[in-house]
Amino acid sequence: MIEVKIGKNDSNQRFDRFLRKYFKNASLSVIQKNIRKKNFKINDKRAKKDDLICEGDLVKMYIKDEDYNKWVNTRKFKDCDFNIDIVYEDDNIVVIDKKKGVLSHAASPKDYGNNIVDQMTSYLYKTNKVDSRDLTFKPSIVNRLDRNTAGLIIGAKNARALRELNKAIKNSQIHKYYLTIVEGKVDKDFTIDTNIIKNENKNIVKSNEDGKRIITKFHPLDINDKYSLLECKLITGRTHQIRYSLFKNDTPIIGDRKYFKSGIDYRKYGLDSQVLLAYKLSFNTKGFLSYLNNKEIKSNQTKDLLKLKEKVFNESYTR
C-alpha cells in the first residue's frame, strides 16, 4: 500500500483527473480499471472517479510496487543557468521581462535552457519557491512572445494560479499593451479587426475570411511627418497579430523584414528585427487573483525603446 497526501496544486479536482497526471505512464483504461476494482481510497473511503479531492486528503493506493513505479510520472528536473529579469513576483505569479532574441519556450530539444520557460522553472526550483518534487505540476507561462519581440511574460507558480490566469486571459481580464515605432504618420486612434490564417512553412499570417479573428486597438503617443510611436492594446491574442495589423494598415513596424522591407537604415540604428515591446500589463480579475486589480506592471526596457524613438525622429527631422 502506498500513501499520497494531496497538496494545494492537486486540490479541487476530480480524482480521476489527478490520477491521469500522477500516473502519467498509465493508460486511461488501466486507471479506470483500478478505480473500479476499489484499489484506491480517499481518507479511508472507497474512491470514485468523480470524487473531488482537497488539500490534505490522504489517498491510499493498494497496488503493486512494480506497477506504481511503472505508471508514476517520472519527470525529473534538469536544471539550467538562468538570467531573467523579474519585474514582479508574489506567491502565485512571476512576471519576467524577456529580452529580444530569447525564445518563450523550447521549439526543439536543442533549445533546452535557452528559453524563458526553462530558465523560469530553474529559478523557481533552485530558490525553493516551487517544489521540484511535485509530480503533477510544473511552472508554466500563460502568454508567449515571438523570439524577437521583447517584454513581459507571466508565469504561474501553482496550479490554481495557472487555471485562474488562463481563465482571466480568455475573459479579457488581463490587458496587454505594446509599444512600437512605425513608418507613417498616425494622428488618431484606430482599430484593426480582421481574420487571419497562418502559413506554417513561411511562419507568416495573411487575411482570410475563414481564419481566426484578430482585434487590436492602436493609439499614437508621439508622431512626426515620417514616423509614429504607437501604443497597441491586444483584444485578442494571435501569432503576429500586431505586426500583420500594422502592415495591413500601411504603417509597418520599423525593422520588421518579414512583412515589410523598410526604407530605414538598419545598420545605423542597430536594427535586426521588429521594434516591438510588450511593455505594460494591467489586471481586472475576479476572485483568487483580484488582489492584482488596478496594478500596472511595466517593462524595464521601455526607456531603451524611447531612446531609439528619439534617434529615429530626430534623424527624420534633419533630412
CB atoms near residue 75 (< 10 Å): 12
| Average pLDDT of the segment spanning 41-61 | 95
Q: What is the mean pLDDT of the chain?
A: 91
| pLDDT surpasses 60 at 203 | yes
Backbone angles phi, psi at 110, to 5 degrees: -70, -15
Residues identified as active-site:
146
Pairing of β 276-283 and β 150-156: parallel
pLDDT digits 0-9 by tens, 92-125: 999 999 999 999 998 887 888 789 999 999 999 9
- 8, 161 contact by CB (below 8 A): no
Please give the share of the chain, as a percent, with pLDDT higher than 70.
97
> Would you place residue 75 in the very low, low, confident or very high pLDDT band (cuts 50, 70, 90)?
low
Least confident of 36-50, 217-231, 256-270, 279-293: 256-270
For residue 116, what pLDDT is reported?
95
Contacts of 44 (CB under 8 A, 6+ apart): 58, 60
pLDDT digits 0-9 by tens, 127-165: 989 988 788 899 999 999 999 999 999 999 999 999 999
For residue 77, what pLDDT is reported?
64
For residue 318, what pLDDT is reported?
45
| pLDDT surpasses 50 at 289 | yes
Please give the Cα distance from 209 to 212 (Å, whole number): 8
> Would you place residue 35 in the very low, low, confident or very high pLDDT band (cuts 50, 70, 90)?
very high
The structure's pTM equals 0.85
pLDDT digits 0-9 by tens, 214-251: 999 999 999 999 999 999 999 998 999 999 999 999 99
Nearest-5° Cα angle at 106, 100 to 107: 100
For residue 226, what pLDDT is reported?
92
pLDDT digits 0-9 by tens, 270-279: 888 999 999 9
| pLDDT surpasses 70 at 174 | yes
**Secondary structure string (H, E, C) spanning the chain:** CEEEECCHHHCCEEHHHHHHHHCCCCCHHHHHHHHHCCCEEECCEECCCCCEECCCCEEEECCCHHHHHHHCCCCCCCCCCCCCCEEEECCCEEEEEECCCCECCCCCHHHCCCEHHHHHHHHHHHCCCCCCCCCCCCCEECCCCCCCCEEEEEEECCHHHHHHHHHHHHCCCEEEEEEEEEECCCCCCEEEEEEEEEECCCCEEEECCCCEEEEEEEEEEEECCCEEEEEEEECCCCCCHHHHHHHHCCCCECCCCCCCCCCCCHHHHCCCCCCEEEEEEEECCCHHHHHHCCCEEECCCHHHHHHHHHHHHHHHHHC
- 162, 170 contact by CB (below 8 A): no
* Three cell numbers, residue 169: 486571459
Please give the Cα distance from 77 to 234 (Å, whole number): 34
| Average pLDDT of the segment spanning 248-270 | 86
Please give the Cα distance from 205 to 287 (Å, whole number): 36
* Three cell numbers, residue 319: 533630412
| pLDDT surpasses 60 at 317 | no
For residue 298, what pLDDT is reported?
97
Q: Which residue has the higher pLDDT, 169 or 266?
A: 169
> Would you place residue 316 in the very low, low, confident or very high pLDDT band (cuts 50, 70, 90)?
low
Chain position carrying cell 500596472: 296
For residue 319, what pLDDT is reported?
44
Q: Which residue has the higher pLDDT, 106 or 318?
A: 106
- What are the CA-CA distances from residue 266 to residues 200, 254, 270, 293 (Å)? 27, 9, 6, 40
Burial class from Cβ neighbours inside 10 Å (0-12, 13-18, 19+) for residue 245 reads: buried
